[in-house]
């Protein structure tokens, strides 16, 4: 499986979270991520996916501070 959190539609950041299942050859929608993420890096543990960094503008700085 490949997970795809965040991203953009055109130039607009989104909170979408999807997974591609190679066995079924299709995408599946997951619950949205807590904030919009563009150009972030991700890593994972057995139970969590962590977002590191993000491309933000001055207006987005406070909105993109996740504490989860």
CA dihedral 46, 30, 5, 60 (to 10 degrees): -120
Q: Coil, strand, or helix at residue 64?
A: helix
pLDDT digits (tens, 9 = 90+) for 11-60: 888 888 999 999 999 999 999 988 887 887 888 899 888 887 766 555 55
The DSSP code for 1 is -
Question: Is 41 within 8 Å of 53 (Cβ atoms)?
Answer: yes
pLDDT, greater one: 58 or 4: 4
Closest by alpha carbon to 18, among 38, 37, 42, 1? 1
């Amino acid at each position: 499986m490949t997970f795809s959190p965040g991203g953009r539609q055109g130039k607009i950041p989104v909170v979408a979270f999807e997974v591609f299942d190679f066995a079924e050859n299709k995408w599946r929608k997951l619950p949205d991520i807590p904030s919009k993420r563009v150009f972030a890096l991700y890593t994972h543990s057995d139970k969590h996916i962590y977002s590191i960094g993000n491309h933000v503008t001055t207006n987005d700085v406070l909105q993109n501070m996740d504490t989860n």
